[in-house]
Amino acid sequence: MARARIADAAGEASVRGALAGSAEAPASRDTTAMAVRYLLQLLAEQAEGNTVEVRIPPFGAVQCIPGPRHTRGTPPNVIETDAATWLALATGAVSWDEAVASGAVHASGQRADLTAYLPVLTTGWPHSA
């Protein structure tokens, strides 16, 4: 059964809420979870496919990017990062190369590169081009 789609208004509000959090007053877990899932949803819609699995534990994972379909076992192309890094990548606050170089993103497999698909939110976001 397919997951319910997060509406754009609710998703964008959750992203704003998650980004507004700070070390002293972090966003709630529910807000962060919805923001992560919404941004993963956008990635999966913009880069339809099943070649790369993007994991943001413990909040969500999607398969995306056109190419050979993976169906069993550990995917050959996996990207994993934390929620804060995913929010920064997906909104353009940090580049793919910066996140990988810092060790905040773990990417394995020759297709495990999101450069062409980031940021996933571009209109009206403070860090987007």
Residue 75 belongs to domain spanning: 8-117
Residue 125 counted as domain residue: no
Give residue-wise pLDDT tens across range 34-61. 999 999 999 999 999 989 999 999 999 9
Give residue-wise pLDDT tens across range 65-99. 998 776 677 778 999 999 999 999 999 999 999 99
Give residue-wise pLDDT tens across range 4-15. 899 999 999 999
Give residue-wise pLDDT tens across range 23-32. 889 999 999 9
| Cβ burial 5-23 (10 Å sphere, 16+ → b, else e) | ebeeeebbebbebbbebee
Residue 124 counted as domain residue: no
For the chain, the domain total comes to 1
Residue 1 counted as domain residue: no
CATH code, domain with 50: 3.30.1050.40
| Torsional sign, CA 95, 54, 117, 34 | negative
Contacts of 56 (CB under 8 A, 6+ apart): 36, 40, 80, 81, 82, 83, 86
CA 35/CA 83 separation, integer angstroms: 9
Residue 33 counted as domain residue: yes
pTM of the model: 0.90
Q: Residue 24 burial by CB count (10 A; 0-12/13-18/19+): exposed, middle or buried? A: exposed
Residue 91 counted as domain residue: yes
Residue 123 counted as domain residue: no
Residue 129 counted as domain residue: no
Average pLDDT, the chain: 90
